[in-house]
Amino acid sequence: MSVNGRTNVDLDGATWLKAGDSPGSDSVEVALLADGHVGLRNGNDPDGHVLVFTPGEWAAFTAGVQDGEFDRP
């Protein structure tokens, strides 16, 4: 898989972990990939699309989560 048309990321052999806060049948899975990339997918559709984040993108996202940037009012 190509990320931003530049980096090839191999999803074969990735270890997918269910996110701890996935309620009921809603399932988000995360995998740590080569070169620090992070994959996210719908655990109910493991053969579906995968979002792949670069290390910088993932760091910005997790910092936003920790800062409450995505909290509902």
Quick: pLDDT tens for 21-60.
655 667 899 999 988 899 999 999 989 999 999 999 999 9
Dist CA 3 CA 23 (whole Å): 29
Using DSSP's 3-state secondary structure scheme, residue 35 falls into helix
Give the CA count within 13 Å in the CB-facing half-sphere of 23. 0
Parse the chain into domains and list their residue ranges.
2-66
The model carries a pTM of: 0.76
Tokens (6 digits) for 22: 């996935």
pLDDT on residue 10: 81
Q: Are 30 and 38 within 8 A, CB to CB? A: yes
| Contact between residue 39 and residue 14 where contact means Cβ atoms under 8 Å apart | yes
